[in-house]
């Protein structure tokens, strides 16, 4: 890649928003969103998924320039692989999704991919409110913890 192409590519990537990434990788993010919703189903120790902006956090995280490109590709490839193996995954009920995910867990990449998605979800809900998911630090209560003081006023990477 020559210098000019590199600069155009860098400029293009730096101006893409989370919504752009989500639309560029529409099917992958539908799968990731569905898996996160399944994993973070409301219980006494896990918040309601629908009350979060977890998918936006995941998009922001994996497409941030500092994020490992190989992990980003792994996350997207895993979503594609899940959809290839279980074409009706997105239309499935909770019980059927659990069966599909248990089967997916047994294939070569499945367990690692599910673990990575779970890590991204946990990072999202237990992040500082400035990252857009843990509004008013409400999710720290689910793990009987308190937020650190002082709370960040801006995202670390923006400093």
Domain boundaries, the chain: 3-158
More confident residue, 123 or 76: 76
pLDDT for residue 5: 42
Q: What is the pTM of this model?
A: 0.78
DSSP 151: P
Average pLDDT for residues 70-93, to the nearest whole number?
A: 95
The three state secondary structure string of 56-125 is HHHHHHHCCCCCCHHHHHHHHHHHHHHHHHCCCHHHCCHHHHHHHHHHHHCCCCHHHHHHHHHHHHHHHH
Residue 60 has pLDDT above 80, yes or no: yes
pLDDT for residue 110: 95
Cis-peptide, bond into residue 101, ω within 30° of zero = no
């Amino acid at each position: 890649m020559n210098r000019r192409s590199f600069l155009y590519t860098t400029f293009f990537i730096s101006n893409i928003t989370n919504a752009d990434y989500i639309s560029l990788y529409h099917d992958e993010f539908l799968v990731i969103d569905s898996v996160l919703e399944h994993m973070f189903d409301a219980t006494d120790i896990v918040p309601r998924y629908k009350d979060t902006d977890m998918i936006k956090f995941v998009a922001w995280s994996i497409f941030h320039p500092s994020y490992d490109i190989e992990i980003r590709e792994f996350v997207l490839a895993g979503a594609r692989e899940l959809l290839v193996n279980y074409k009706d995954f997105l239309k499935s009920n909770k019980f059927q999704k659990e069966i599909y995910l248990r089967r997916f867990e047994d294939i070569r990449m499945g367990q690692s991919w599910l673990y990575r998605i779970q890590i991204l979800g946990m990072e999202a809900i237990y992040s500082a409110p400035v990252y857009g998911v843990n509004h008013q630090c409400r999710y720290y209560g689910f793990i009987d913890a308190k937020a650190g003081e002082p709370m960040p006023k801006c995202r670390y990477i923006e400093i």
